[in-house]
């Protein structure tokens, strides 16, 4: 069960909210908004989720807290009058003493307001109760944690941190359930940038990385790093095309967007063939018609062998006129496949364009009238090798625009480093999404670096498996 914070962006990072009954450290330097986040967590809990709360401060008087939070429109005194909130100022040693007493002040407050959430500002002072005994200081933190668990309170424990780059890991990071860090850093020597990062959250998955936040008139507002521009789309929609790799579909929000142009940026060291084969096999199983522009390093026979591993019989697909190939090279082809192959070797660029415009596209248009869906895949490096970079720069955008207008989905294989930064930049602008896969040492990674909804994913480890679908992203 989760306790939503109600703070824009934070609940998405947390996968829905804080684990109910957990004790979470909110750490940051002075001025990062830790107290604001804590009060916002309590205020939203009362107003949005019917979860009453307690705010305990060791350094401020309640009147100061009331005044500071009024600027956000949070009337804490009204909530106190309704017996939904307590704002208490007391010393650290008094808090621990009262926590240890049966029916002490702490237990009375929890029962009086039916408390579900609590914020303590700040636990940094608890460590100063026994400066001469590190063991005693740890015992106090254990006591605090255990009592919060006893009452099943979802807790934010504020902690000052003046140096966010220290190598020493504080003891409290280990014993509490989570750690949220607020930072204030110099950015491009122009201004100070606020970032929020969830470094630990026991019992739940999180959206990793630093996310920019602002302190607005409504409190803390987090802008997710991967969703600076985001369109809400239904991951189960018919407009999403499955890739055959469940973990990849999840990263893509349900699959490839139908009618979009995708680029797979890779190199010869990366194992991209299983990714491509899985996508092609899934589209064949879904009943799509496919057009593939063959590369110099993969023949139809090799593709057929890979498709068999994905339970697809290429002979049957070709017999049903569901898959066609454009071949730039003189390679032997099975007699049963000849009618599915368009040979273009020897055609100069002008004749090749004539072929596309007057032979291939009319066929596709004819089939489109029959409500068939087309999926196109090709290795752009092969086109560059055979037809030149200038050809790609002149015609790629036009061809992809034509494909979009017909609702066709296109997957293009390319090595951005090999084509150069200017061509790569042009290609990236011409497509809706970019999947990048690379090898670093003994590991392969995959990342969505461009998507139609603005999402940029974290890098995922790509694990090759012996069993179907042979790839998993972690």
Dihedral (Cα; 251, 254, 256, 258), 10-degree rounding: -160
DSSP 190-252: TEEEEEEEEEEETTS----S-EEEEEETTEEEEE-TT-SS-----TTSTTEE--S-HHHHHHT
pLDDT at residue 164 in the model: 47
pLDDT at residue 231 in the model: 40
Which of 271, 275, 252, 272 is CA-nearest to residue 434? Answer: 252
Q: What percent of the chain has pLDDT over 90?
A: 58
Write down the mean pLDDT value for the chain. Answer: 88
Categorize the per-residue pLDDT at 234 as very low, low, confident or very high, splitting at 50, 70 and 90.
very low
Which of 217, 212, 219, 216 is CA-nearest to residue 183? Answer: 212
Query: 400-425 burial, b for 16+ CB within 10 Å, e for fewer?
Result: beebeeeebbbbbbbbbeebeeebbe
Least confident of 119-128, 282-291, 311-320: 119-128
Categorize the per-residue pLDDT at 156 as very low, low, confident or very high, splitting at 50, 70 and 90.
very high
Summarize the confidence of residues 219-236 as an average pLDDT.
Answer: 61
Cα distances (Å, whole numbers) of residue 229 to 234, 279, 381, 455: 16, 27, 31, 7
Summarize the confidence of residues 349-376 as an average pLDDT.
Answer: 83
Cα distances (Å, whole numbers) of residue 384 to 141, 280, 415, 419, 435: 64, 23, 11, 8, 20
Q: Decide: 411 and 291 in contact? Cβ < 8 Å.
A: no
Task: Reply yes or no on whether the pLDDT at 230 is more than 60.
Answer: no
Q: What is the pLDDT of residues 380-439, one digit of tens each?
A: 988 999 999 999 999 988 888 888 888 899 999 999 998 888 888 899 888 989 999 999
pLDDT at residue 129 in the model: 64
Q: At 118, which helix (H) or strand (E)?
A: strand 115-121
Distance CA 194, CA 32 (A): 7
* CB contact set of 425 (below 8 Å; sequence gap of 6+): none
Q: What is the pLDDT of residues 237-246, one digit of tens each?
A: 567 899 999 9
Distance CA 237, CA 406 (A): 19
pLDDT at residue 137 in the model: 74
Q: Decide: 289 and 322 in contact? Cβ < 8 Å.
A: yes
Q: Decide: 85 and 55 in contact? Cβ < 8 Å.
A: yes
Residue with the bigger pLDDT between 105 and 442: it is 105
Which of 270, 206, 242 is CA-nearest to residue 445? Answer: 270
Residue with the bigger pLDDT between 172 and 144: it is 144
Which of 181, 166, 78, 170 is CA-nearest to residue 124? Answer: 170
Categorize the per-residue pLDDT at 169 as very low, low, confident or very high, splitting at 50, 70 and 90.
low
Q: Which residue has the tokens 């042979």?
A: 470
Task: Reply yes or no on whether the pLDDT at 5 is more than 80.
Answer: yes
pLDDT at residue 232 in the model: 40
Task: Reply yes or no on whether the pLDDT at 235 is more than 50.
Answer: no
Q: What percent of the chain has pLDDT over 70?
A: 90
Here the tokens at position 411 are 């997957």
User: Helix (H) and strand (E) counts for the chain?
Assistant: 18, 23
pLDDT at residue 134 in the model: 62
Q: Decide: 327 and 343 in contact? Cβ < 8 Å.
A: yes
| Phi and psi at residue 435, to the nearest 5° | -105, 125
Distance CA 248, CA 448 (A): 10
This prediction has a pTM of 0.61
């Amino acid at each position: 069960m989760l306790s939503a914070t109600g703070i824009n962006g934070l609940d998405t990072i947390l996968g829905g909210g804080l684990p109910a009954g957990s004790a979470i450290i909110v750490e940051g330097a002075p001025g990062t908004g830790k107290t604001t986040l804590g009060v916002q967590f309590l205020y939203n809990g009362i107003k949005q989720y019917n979860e009453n709360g307690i705010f305990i401060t060791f350094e401020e008087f309640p009147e100061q807290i009331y005044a500071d939070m009024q600027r956000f429109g949070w009337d804490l005194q009204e909530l106190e009058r309704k017996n939904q909130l307590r704002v208490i100022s007391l010393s650290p040693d008094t808090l621990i003493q009262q926590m240890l007493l049966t029916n002490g002040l702490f237990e009375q407050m929890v029962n009086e307001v039916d408390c579900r959430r609590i914020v303590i500002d700040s636990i940094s002072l608890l460590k100063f109760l026994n400066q001469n005994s590190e063991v005693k200081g740890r015992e106090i933190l254990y006591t605090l944690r255990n009592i919060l668990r006893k009452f099943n309170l979802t807790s934010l424990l504020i902690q000052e941190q003046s140096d966010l780059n220290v190598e020493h890991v504080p003891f409290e990071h280990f014993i509490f359930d989570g750690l949220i860090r607020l930072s204030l850093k110099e950015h491009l020597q122009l201004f100070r940038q606020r970032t929020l990062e969830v470094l630990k959250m026991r019992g739940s998955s999180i959206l990793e990385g630093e996310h920019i936040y602002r302190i607005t008139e409504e409190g803390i507002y987090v802008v997710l790093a991967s969703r600076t521009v985001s369109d809400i789309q239904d991951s189960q929609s018919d407009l999403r095309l499955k890739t055959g790799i469940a973990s990849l579909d999840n990263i893509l929000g349900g699959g490839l967007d139908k009618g979009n142009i995708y680029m797979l940026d890779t190199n010869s060291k990366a194992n991209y063939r299983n990714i491509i084969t899985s996508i092609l096999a899934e589209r064949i199983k879904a009943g799509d018609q496919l057009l593939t522009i063959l590369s110099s390093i993969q023949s139809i026979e090799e593709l057929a062998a890979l498709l068999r591993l994905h339970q697809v019989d290429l002979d049957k697909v070709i017999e049903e006129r569901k898959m066609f190939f454009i071949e730039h090279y003189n390679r032997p082809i099975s007699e049963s496949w000849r009618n599915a192959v368009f040979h273009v070797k020897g055609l100069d660029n002008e004749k090749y364009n004539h072929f596309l415009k007057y032979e291939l596209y009319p066929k596709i248009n004819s089939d489109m009238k029959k409500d068939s869906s087309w999926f196109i895949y090709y290795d752009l490096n092969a086109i560059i090798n055979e037809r030149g970079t200038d050809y790609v720069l002149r015609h790629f955008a036009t061809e992809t625009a034509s494909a979009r207008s017909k609702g066709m989905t296109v997957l293009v294989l390319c090595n951005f480093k090999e084509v150069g930064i200017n061509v790569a930049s042009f290609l990236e602008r011409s497509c809706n999404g970019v999947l990048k896969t690379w090898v670093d040492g003994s590991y392969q990674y995959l990342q969505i670096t461009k998507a139609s909804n603005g999402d940029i994913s974290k890098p995922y480890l790509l694990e090759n498996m012996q069993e179907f679908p042979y790839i998993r992203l972690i």
